[in-house]
Structure 1
Amino acid sequence: MAIAQTKTGWQVEFRVNGRGSRKYKRVFPTKAECDRFQRFTIAQHETQSDAKPWLERPKDTRKLSELIELWDDSHGHFLRDGKRRKSKLLMIAEQLGDPVGSNLTRLEYTRWRAQRSKEGKSPKTLNNDLGYVSSMFNTLIKAEEIHYPNTLTTVDNVKVPENELSYLMHDQITELLEETKEGDNPHVYLITKISLSTGARWSEAEGLTVQRVRNNQVSFTDTKSGKNRSVPITPELFEEIHEHAKLTRGNSIFTASISSFRRALKRTTIELPKGQAAHVLRHSFASHFIMNGGNILSLQKILGHSDIKMTMRYAHLSPDFLEEAVRLNPLSSGI
């Protein structure tokens, strides 16, 4: 290896790996440039030598069910719904014919999804399926368990029609509370009040313990979003909950009461869209919160929504929004 001055500049001459290897000979304006070229070229040769690009990675022939087991061992069993999700993934693999994972194509998946849709599966179910499979592939790629791209990243979700969010008016709330109070289950009335007062899901209110009701607030743990949250309540409701807790044994305040609630709801004159029962209590809290001037960001925290888009479903009930609709419509100028 040598760098020498010539009539036209500086010449560098070297071999990348000793005798027998490729020889480089170049002329540059400066000696420093010669040195940089020499070091760069040798480094490039060493990197390519380590990579051995002529040795192709053998094709991954593991079936989708094998990848699911691999995903479960390294990641899935840590999830709260890991067992359910694994069961769902194995069902999908079976219905797809358990193909080799690296062979699963966008077309193959979308055709299977179209068939599921014809069988009556809802858009939400179809989108959940896509999310589970795509997430599994992404997790395995990140862990370097597989070395091929996730072909499902280009598959779009099915458009989900926005469901009607019913909420109870004041007279309906009064009717429902009276019916739950007169029922045969001593827990239904108070669980209903807690849900209406805090926006809690029925399971969250039903699962309260004595330790989670303190300082005029209730704390919800093991929630759908995985995040704990606390919501203030009135001193009267706080006392009512603790008085009720004296009637039960152990740490739990309530027992399973959803069936009793549904029976009480049926005895009222309230009519709800299909699929809505106890969840109408959560919708009622959110709707009245916004109609009474509540802040949308505060509502997001109270409800525990991880995505503000979920909370924005109630934004149209804001009094400011409604007032502007009246004040700013094209007929408001007296045409």
Structure 2
Amino acid sequence: MKWNTYIKDYQSYLRIERGLSKNTIENYSFDIERLCLFLEANRIEVSPIKISDETVQEFIYSVSKEVNPRSQARIISGLKSFFNYLVFEDYRNDNPMELIEAPKTGRKLPDTLSVEEIDNLIAAIDLSSNEGERNKAMLETLYGCGLRVSELVSLKISDLFFEEGFIKITGKGNKERFVPIGHSTQKYIEIYQKGVRVHLKIKKGHEDTLFLNRRGNQLTRAMIFTIIKDLAVKIGLNKNISPHTLRHSFATHLLENGADLRSIQLMLGHESITTTEIYVHLDRSFLKEVMHTFHPRR
């Protein structure tokens, strides 16, 4: 069996048994393919079940000179997972990554925007075009519901429960959750639906997809990134932002206004509360104020 065969089996395992998303599987696969390119460049002919600890260490050493510690840690984690799978399937007796430690990266705090910056970003959208009405509805939904970009582009009309005030989101691992949606966000979605989407020639298979491009196809994640980056340039925003920035801002603003962490966790669809806890580190002055206001021994 060659590397490609093992990689395909591993991808099937990640998809079927672990229920990971397509994007996550692609990231795991990229790390293995990078190792394959290293072997090819150094003319090392070895299968994944025969590769030695020393060869893997040489690869990690070469990578450490090309990428930052955070990327290096991700590659090490991805390869450990791959070789753990090979051990689990009895292809190998050991994991050659076992003794390799990831570099200390510290906790990277997410970028956030103020409410004013988000207002300015959305206000910069040109509403004279059909795409403008769609883009406004998308950004309002991203920020108003705290969605991942993958959740936004796959959002269905049948997932909208406006009368109940919720939308149904299919998140990581195909896990479903219901997220509250405000009246203003509902309004912008309805404007887009009735004024723009209804006139599109929708491609087969996308009849239920909410946000579409001008050809009637589902939008790509990359397109959402481009839309937001262009708007940031337009208003002269000197921050490196992405669709995820709106999600982080959603959580941060909820926390600043008194929402509890457990509620934020449920709305974001985080499996663990520890993932949500990163937002606690964004505004320590707010936490200090909460302590002085509510603790009996303030």
Give the TM bin, normalised by the shorter chain: 0.7 to 0.9
Residue among 251, 266, 269 paired with 2:236: 269
The structural deviation recorded for 1:289 is 1.0
SS in 2 for 1:153: coil
Distance 2:274 2:192 in 1: 37
4+ residue stretches of structure 1 with deviation over 6 A? 324-327
Q: Tell me which amino acid in the other structure corresponds to 2:252.
A: S
Q: How does 1:177-326 map to 2 (within 5 A)?
A: 177-180=122-125, 182=127, 184=129, 185=131, 186-214=133-161, 215-221=164-170, 223-224=171-172, 226-246=174-194, 247-248=196-197, 249=200, 250-255=207-212, 256=219, 257-258=223-224, 259-273=226-240, 276-316=241-281, 317=283, 321-323=287-289
Task: Tell me the number of residue pairs that the alignment of Structure 1 and Structure 2 aligns.
Answer: 261
Deviation of 1:204 after TM superposition, in Å, equals: 2.0
Measured in 1, the distance between the counterparts of 2:56 and 2:86 equals 19
Aligned to 1:75: 13
Q: Percent identity?
A: 20
Aligned to 1:129: 75
1:83 Cα deviation from its structure 2 partner = 5.9
Contact 1:77 1:83 (8 Å CA) reproduced = no
Asked if 1:91 is matched to 2:34, the reply is: yes
Distance 2:177 2:267 in 1: 7
Pairs within 5 Å for 1:36-115? 65=3, 68-69=6-7, 71-72=9-10, 75=13, 78=16, 80-81=21-22, 82=25, 85-86=28-29, 88-96=31-39, 97-101=44-48, 103-115=50-62
Match of 1:45 in 2: none
The one-letter amino acid paired with 1:269 is G
Match of 1:68, as an amino acid?
Y
Q: CA deviation at 1:226?
A: 4.0
How far is 1:103 from its partner? 4.7
Structure 2 counterpart SS, 1:188: helix
Per-residue CA deviations over 1:105-133 (Å, capped at 9, x if unaligned) read: 444323321211212x2333323322232
What's the CA shift for 1:225?
Answer: 5.0
Aligned AA for 1:262?
K
Q: Return the letter of the residue paired with 2:211.
A: F
> Could you say what secondary structure the match of 1:229 adopts?
strand
Larger RCO (CA within 8 A; separation ≥ 6): 2
Q: Report how far residue 326 of structure 1 moved.
A: 8.0
**Pair 283,111 (structure 1): closer, same or farther in 2 beyond 3 Å:** same
Q: State the TM-score, normalizing by the size of structure 2.
A: 0.74
Rate the CA distance shift 1:113–1:85 in 2: closer, same or farther, 3 A.
same
**How far did 1:277 drift?**
2.5
When residues 157 and 237 of structure 1 are mapped into structure 2, their CA distance, relative to the original with a 3 A threshold, is same
Q: How far is 1:213 from its partner? A: 0.8
Q: Which amino acid is the alignment partner of residue 151 of structure 1?
A: P
Q: Which residues of structure 1 form unaligned runs of 5+?
A: 1-61, 328-335
Note if contact 1:209-1:251 (Cα within 8 Å) is conserved in structure 2.
yes
Q: Which has the larger radius of gyration?
A: 1
TM-score (norm 1): 0.66
Alpha carbons 1:220, 1:230 under 8 Å: kept: yes
Counterpart pick for 2:113 among 160, 168, 174: 168
Aligned to 2:65: 118
* CA 104–232 in structure 1, closer or farther in 2 if over 3 Å, else same: same
Structure number having the greater helix percentage: 2
Q: Which amino acid is the alignment partner of residue 238 of structure 1? A: Q
Which of 136, 144, 150 does residue 95 from structure 2 map onto? 150
Partner of residue 203, structure 2:
none
**Cα distance in 2 between the residues matched to 1:165 and 1:138:** 30
> Aligned partners of 2:154, 2:8: CA distance in 1, in Å?
34
SS of 2:98 mapped into structure 1: helix
Q: In structure 2, what is the Cα distance between the partners aligned to 1:326 and 1:106?
A: 54
Give the 3 Å change call, closer, same or farther, for CA 203–178 of structure 1 in structure 2: same
Contact 2:21 2:173 (8 Å CA) reproduced: no
Displacement of 1:267 after TM fit? Answer: 1.0
Matched, 1:141 2:87: yes
The one-letter code sitting in structure 2 at the alignment partner of 1:180 is I
Alpha-carbon distance between aligned partners in 2 of 1:196 and 1:108, rounded to the nearest angstrom: 46
Would you say the 8 A contact 1:225–1:305 is kept in 2? no
